[in-house]
Amino acid sequence: QVQLLESGGEAVQAGGSLRLSCAASRFTFSIHSVAWFRQAPGKEREGVATILTGGGTTVYADSVKGRFTISQDNAKNTVSLQMNSLKAEDTAMYYCAAGAPLSILDPPSRALSPGHFLYWGQGTQVTVSS
């Protein structure tokens, strides 16, 4: 059974930084696409960042470009999300998700669409106070 486990969420002040990590069991990140999503109370789940198959290409939501960085450690089979210059509107539950391979030939919208991803973690809470 595939399991994804997120860690690193906590409460921080605006302008601060956090690093989220996602570890997988019975699943190899490097041959799939892996993404971070977030969902705030009363809002739809939103794609934040995706790393395409192989780890060489990334896709970001406009709201986090220049502030968040997704990366992959194939040796440890983990995917991380470095979040800098955090804002109150970044407050949400953050989920790691994994799905079928994606390449640069696929539409970027697919890389940030929840429907593409089959496996999901339980989430880690990020709270940013202003």
Sequence-distant (6+) residues with CB within 8 A of 115 are none
Supply the pLDDT for residue 72: 95
Supply the pLDDT for residue 53: 87
Supply the pLDDT for residue 48: 98
**pLDDT tens series, the chain, 130 aa:** 889 999 999 999 999 999 999 999 988 998 899 999 999 999 999 999 999 987 789 999 999 999 999 999 999 999 999 999 999 999 999 999 999 999 989 988 999 999 999 999 999 999 999 9
Distance CA 104, CA 87 (A): 30
Supply the pLDDT for residue 129: 97
Supply the pLDDT for residue 54: 79
Count the residues in the chain.
130
Distance CA 33, CA 64 (A): 19
